Structure 1
Amino acid sequence: MTPLTLLVVDDHPVVRDGIVGMVGSADDITVIGEASDGAEAVALAQVHAPDVVLMDLRMPRMDGVAALREFSRLGIASRVVVLTTFDADADVLPAIAAGATGYLLKDASRDELLHAIRAAAAGRTVLAPEVASRLVDRVRTPEAALLTPRELEILGLIADGATNRAAGDRLHLSEATVKTHLLSIYGKLGVGDRAAAVAEGFRRGLLDTTR
């Protein structure tokens, strides 16, 4: 049987070495390259077309989510398994939305890692238990209940073009408190900025489309 090919992507050489060491004894997996950021991963994937890419999320120059989007844009068929220390909604949801086949945390055992690589190569999704639980909770939680009433108020004001200070004045809150609420909104919606939060708010029906 021809071994499946793997590209390892992480900005820490020690982590890459550890991963290569963990999978090195598996007869059915061959590591065909290593990359230190998303841009290198894209370049190597175009050349070598690995079956699976094991990808960190937070890296310099181009992070994992940006690399996933480039894979999709360029039509790179490699399956991508995210391997990271981060399991917050703001990390998980964008990665899965961008096309990740699997999502593991870096405390995964060798057996879990090998299983995820093999499953991804076969087109199956593998999620860390913590990540799977988060996704189930998101599916079960009504969209309107996702944000608190105060967060919905702030999101609505932001959608109307209000600055943090203006929203605070309107709601009798400090600018710092509005910023704290915004960060909570970003995390719950799986976005990273105001524009994306508003767009996601409209998409989820949290905002009135007539505004």
Structure 2
Amino acid sequence: MRILIADDHELLRDTLVLFLESEGGIETVTAPDLASAEELVAKDSFDLVLLDYSMPGMNGLAGLERIMGMDGGQRVAIISGTAKREVAEEVLASGAAGFLPKTLSAKSLINAVRFMAMGEQYAPLDFLRAAENEPEHPLAKSLSQREIEVLQGLTEGKSNKEIARDLDIREPTVKLHVKTLYRKIGASNRTQAAMIARDKGLF
């Protein structure tokens, strides 16, 4: 079984490779962004392609559609630590192989990968149900999905340039989002915005 893991976090890629290859019978190939994943898919075939939802080049689910539309009929799944239930539902509705939250245990992850590589669709029922029963965070309620993603970048200490690269948007657009979210949450600078987000338990 050949699996392509595309994620911009090296540590996570290495951990997934370790998990999967320790099982035996699974060969992994890795890529740090969507462009590299596309190159690999164009010249090779995989039983399953795992794409990180927020890595460079993804542009939401546009990256998923691009890989799914390539020759070879790849089985493609999204893996994410930040995407909400609505995104998971969109992924599943698009006909992708599945949606994997990064909170999955190693055993569940391996079982899900095998399941998807065999042609089945994996839907993380616990994740979908938990998200359904979870009251929406009051701070998140006042922000758009993109503003939440930008705010997360601020709490991780990233520059506007890094946030723009991660979200595959232009730097002036990030500046605009930053300005708007400052106003919405009552912050006057990056540090204060990050502190408010952490104090309120948003991330």
User: What interval of TM-score do these two structures reach, taking the shorter chain for normalisation?
Assistant: 0.5 to 0.7
CA contact (8 A) 1:81 1:116 kept: no
Compared with structure 1, are the counterparts of its residues 26 and 63 closer, same or farther at alpha carbon in structure 2 (3 Å cutoff)? farther
Query: Quick one: distance in 2 between partners of 1:103 and 1:81?
Result: 6
User: Which residue is equivalent to 2:4?
Assistant: 7
CA contact (8 A) 1:38 1:63 kept: no
Aligned residues: 139
CA contact (8 A) 1:92 1:131 kept: no
Q: How does 1:141-180 map to 2 (within 5 A)?
A: 180=142
User: Which residue is equivalent to 1:85?
Assistant: 81
Picking from 111, 129, 132, the partner of 1:133 is: 129
Quote the offset at 1:35 in angstroms. 0.8
User: Which residue is equivalent to 1:73?
Assistant: 69
Query: Quick one: distance in 2 between partners of 1:98 and 1:71?
Result: 12
Query: Quick one: distance in 1 between partners of 2:8 and 2:125?
Result: 25
Quote the offset at 1:64 in angstroms. 6.2
Q: What is the TM-score when the length of structure 2 is the normalising length?
A: 0.59
Compared with structure 1, are the counterparts of its residues 100 and 29 closer, same or farther at alpha carbon in structure 2 (3 Å cutoff)? same
Query: Quick one: distance in 2 between partners of 1:71 and 1:61?
Result: 12
Q: What is the TM-score when the length of structure 1 is the normalising length?
A: 0.57
- 5+ unaligned residues in a row in structure 1: which ranges? 138-178, 185-211
Task: Report percent identity of matched pairs.
Answer: 28
Query: Quick one: distance in 2 between partners of 1:24 and 1:18?
Result: 10
Compared with structure 1, are the counterparts of its residues 94 and 42 closer, same or farther at alpha carbon in structure 2 (3 Å cutoff)? farther
Quote the offset at 1:23 in angstroms. 0.9
Give the residue type in structure 2 aligned to 1:102.
G
* Range 14-23 or range 67-76, more displaced: 67-76
* Range 9-18 or range 93-102, more displaced: 93-102
Query: Quick one: distance in 2 between partners of 1:99 and 1:43?
Result: 22
Matched residue SS, 1:82: strand
User: Which residue is equivalent to 2:184?
Assistant: none
Compared with structure 1, are the counterparts of its residues 63 and 12 closer, same or farther at alpha carbon in structure 2 (3 Å cutoff)? farther
Runs of 4+ aligned structure 1 residues displaced above 3 Å come to none
User: Which residue is equivalent to 1:173?
Assistant: none
Larger radius of gyration: 1
1:99 equivalenced with 2:95 (yes/no): yes
- 5+ unaligned residues in a row in structure 2: which ranges? 133-140, 146-203
Question: What is the CA deviation profile of residues 90-142 of structure 1, one whole-angstrom value per residue up to 9, with x for unaligned ones?
Answer: 4223322333211121121111111111111111111223344379x6xxxxx
Compared with structure 1, are the counterparts of its residues 63 and 116 closer, same or farther at alpha carbon in structure 2 (3 Å cutoff)? farther
